[in-house]
Structure 1
Amino acid sequence: MTPPHPSARLPHLTHLRNVKMARSAHAYVRGSTVQFYEWLHSQPGRRLPQGPSIWICGDCHAGNLGPTANTKGHIDIHIRDLDQAVIGNPAHDLVRLALSLATAARGSDLPGVTTARMLEEMMRGYEQAFEDKPDEAPPRPAQVKASMRSAVQRTWKNLARERIENARPTIPLGKHFWPLSRKENAAIKTLCASPEIHQLVTSLKGRSNDAEVELLDSAYWVKGCSSLGLLRYAVLLGVGDKADQEYCLIDIKEAAGAAAPRSARARMPRDNGKRVLEGALQLSPALGERMIATRMLDHGFFIRELLPQDMKLELDELSEIDAVHAAGYLARVVGIAHARQMDRASRKKWIADLQVSRSKQLDAPSWLWTSVVQLVGKHEEGYLNHCRRYALEN
């Protein structure tokens, strides 16, 4: 593929986004955050419980959880994408995760009864996170174990082959990386010479605070789905002396306004980059400590170094047992992120609120089941209409 000129990116990015969202119903769910909240709040009889105002992921689908390393190299499963993070209602994260899990189950051709069991296990896992000792984690499901094994074994060469298709210190232009404009090039050079970037890349375990940091290459990064169309850059840096230089890949991502509704009178940073950073520090401290926020090209950005251990959790071809176990485990990860922001009284009240509207037949709240049933239908309709438009355009 011949990369487009910087002034002609948008039509290509829009086409790529449409292609990705047409691949499957689950891919459509991941790329339709704005529609999710429009549909959620248009549902008849919608009565979600109103939880305490805390930082929520805002786009809590299964693909936004996965193995993440901290500055010392320790790896665990965390929320790993905080673009939509706001101070809001934690019930929104639960509905978003439940919809994602239900769609993944349908994609694996699992029966509807499995979806019911997944939501039951999801609520059990979430509520377990609010117990007095939430860090005593249960055994990891098979899918999570596989991701963790891969994460632990990954090296810079794995990251280079996956992200830049080249273990040498250059970023090859082509399908995933496009050329920069002169203005973008100058802005990135200025940014990479700043003390903030130096501190970011030298903060990881084993790097000297006095190490030299050199800009080796940079490009516009065609990555993600819902973020396609926003400004995003890949920057390759060299750390240390040239004789023993270590490479690192920096992800510079524009922070746009969040679609997730925020709580009334919630006090959050007005700058979107700082909002994402604060959300990360609250929900996934291991990731937030590896991030900075800045302004560049009149936009807010958040920046992090990508580590080989940072991986997306894929829930493809699930068995019934794996699907149920994964639902409980991932909900528990989200629950820990929520619970750490609440005092004991708030945790107790929130768990009591979640117990309302449960029947003897289904150990999941009726508001969650009803929301998921309605949203699965809406997303299926939206997905098929999206595919029809895409087919007509081509």
Structure 2
Amino acid sequence: MTTPGRSDRQAILEASRTRKMARSAHAYVRGNTATFYDWLRAGPHAPRVPDGPAIWICGDAHLGNLGPLAAGDGRVEIQVRDLDQAVIGNPAHDLIRLGLSLATAARGSDLPGVITARMMEEMVQGYAAAIADPTSGNPGVEPDVVRSVKRQALGRRWKHLAKERLDAVEPTLPIGKKFWALSKEERDALEGVFADPSVAQLILSLDHKDKDRRVRVVDAAYWMKGCSSLGLLRYAVIVGLENARGRSDYALVDLKEAVAPVAPAYPGVTMPSDNAHRVAAAARALSPHLGSRMIPVSMLDRTLFIRELA
């Protein structure tokens, strides 16, 4: 199967994004953050949106951006997994966005209206309970489905991810529908990123077996992933953690371009001006399991952030 060159990617990615959003109202809401905020500003209820405190918000709090995240020590919690749109803004925007995502998901599943109403009630009650415990953010009650998802995540290993996403346990990325071949310029740029001592330290800090290791790029590809972010630079990289005896463990690393958010920030707030640094700062504030595994980098005259996928 042939893969597109860099000049052909944009049209293919835009067509894929359009097809994804056409599947359902839920998919459309998920993939069109900018339109959501246009609706919010132009709708009849815009003046009634309450002003909350100026805090870090996800900015794109739909269902697909919530899920299990592992910390460096192996603990797993349900946290926000995508902070591309994160700003210091109005937390009411996150609640409205998540509520809309829940409502469209319920409608797409043919659930009765009373279920949607119950979901909205539980969402608000859970948020209020978490706000009442600002130290741990623990709402006090963990639903069975959350415990189930965390148990599944705790049992995940490299071989499981490789079997599902890479079609083999061998550390290679299958070039095809999801992973596209790199140009020489992209490959050289990625090699340069992982030669940076600060990037190598991030990867090694998550390896508790042997600190005396060398980080090397084993394989890399352009990664066609996501919906609203399709069209941005995104790469999957398999790195080897090689010890003095030549034995390697492997890690899957995600590099994603950071761009200016469409989510509105409060006027006068102080945030990092660089978008990758903004995303990393938001991750440390909102999703510490993710923030501890993220670092901003520059590549091909763009600003990106690296995430080690535990």
Q: Could you tell me the TM-score, scaled by structure 2's length? A: 0.95
Partner of 1:251: 254
Q: 1:28 deviation in Å?
A: 1.4
Q: Tell whether 2:283 aligns with 1:280.
A: yes
Larger radius of gyration: 1
Q: 1:89 deviation in Å?
A: 0.5
Structure 2 distance, partners of 1:13, 1:231, is 11
Q: Tell whether 2:171 aligns with 1:169.
A: yes
1:184-210 Cα distance to aligned partner (Å, 9 max, x none): 111101111110221111111514333
Structure 1 distance, partners of 2:229, 2:165, is 17
Alignment of 1:197-236 (within 5 A): 197-236=199-238
Q: Tell whether 2:37 aligns with 1:37.
A: yes
Structure 2 distance, partners of 1:137, 1:258, is 29
More strand by share: 2
For residue 212 of structure 1, give the secondary structure of its aligned residue in structure 2. Answer: strand
1:34-62 Cα distance to aligned partner (Å, 9 max, x none): 11001111001422111111110000011
Q: Which amino acid aligns with 2:268?
A: R
Q: 1:163 deviation in Å?
A: 2.7
Q: 1:166 deviation in Å?
A: 2.3
Structure 2 distance, partners of 1:113, 1:45, is 22
1:201–1:305 Cα contact (<8 Å) kept: yes
1:139-163 Cα distance to aligned partner (Å, 9 max, x none): 4334323322221111101111233
Structure 2 distance, partners of 1:34, 1:2, is 33
Structure 2 distance, partners of 1:176, 1:30, is 20
More moved, 132-141 vs 73-82: 132-141
For residue 176 of structure 2, give the secondary structure of its aligned residue in structure 1. Answer: coil
Structure 1 distance, partners of 2:51, 2:38, is 18
Structure 1 distance, partners of 2:296, 2:45, is 40
Structure 2 distance, partners of 1:126, 1:137, is 7
Alignment of 1:267-306 (within 5 A): 267-306=270-309
Partner of 1:340: none
1:67–1:147 Cα contact (<8 Å) kept: yes
Q: 1:124 deviation in Å?
A: 1.0
Structure 1 distance, partners of 2:42, 2:212, is 55
Structure 2 distance, partners of 1:254, 1:159, is 23
For residue 104 of structure 2, give the secondary structure of its aligned residue in structure 1. Answer: helix
Q: Where in structure 1 are there 5+ consecutive unaligned residues?
A: 308-394
Partner of 2:264: 261
Q: 1:6 deviation in Å?
A: 2.0
Q: Tell whether 2:110 aligns with 1:102.
A: no
Structure 1 distance, partners of 2:53, 2:137, is 21
Structure 2 distance, partners of 1:67, 1:134, is 17
Alignment of 1:1-394 (within 5 A): 1-46=1-46, 47-132=48-133, 135-241=137-243, 243-307=246-310
Structure 1 distance, partners of 2:198, 2:54, is 31
Structure 1 distance, partners of 2:295, 2:99, is 31
Q: Where in structure 2 are there 5+ consecutive unaligned residues?
A: none
More helix by share: 1
Structure 1 distance, partners of 2:10, 2:286, is 32
Partner of 1:357: none
Q: Which amino acid aligns with 2:120?
A: L
Q: Which amino acid aligns with 1:76?
A: E
Structure 1 distance, partners of 2:166, 2:6, is 19
Q: Could you tell me the TM-score, scaled by structure 1's length? A: 0.75
Structure 1 distance, partners of 2:45, 2:137, is 37
Q: Which amino acid aligns with 1:53?
A: A
1:226-285 Cα distance to aligned partner (Å, 9 max, x none): 111000011111102364310111100000111100110111111111110011011111
1:329-385 Cα distance to aligned partner (Å, 9 max, x none): xxxxxxxxxxxxxxxxxxxxxxxxxxxxxxxxxxxxxxxxxxxxxxxxxxxxxxxxx
Identity over aligned residues, as a percent? 54
1:90-122 Cα distance to aligned partner (Å, 9 max, x none): 110010011011111112211112211211121
What is the number of residues matched between the two proteins?
A: 307
Q: Which amino acid aligns with 1:43?
A: G
Structure 2 distance, partners of 1:303, 1:250, is 7
For residue 202 of structure 1, give the secondary structure of its aligned residue in structure 2. Answer: helix
For residue 15 of structure 1, give the secondary structure of its aligned residue in structure 2. Answer: helix
1:13-38 Cα distance to aligned partner (Å, 9 max, x none): 11111111122221111101111001
More moved, 204-213 vs 128-137: 128-137
For residue 42 of structure 2, give the secondary structure of its aligned residue in structure 1. Answer: coil
More moved, 138-147 vs 73-82: 138-147
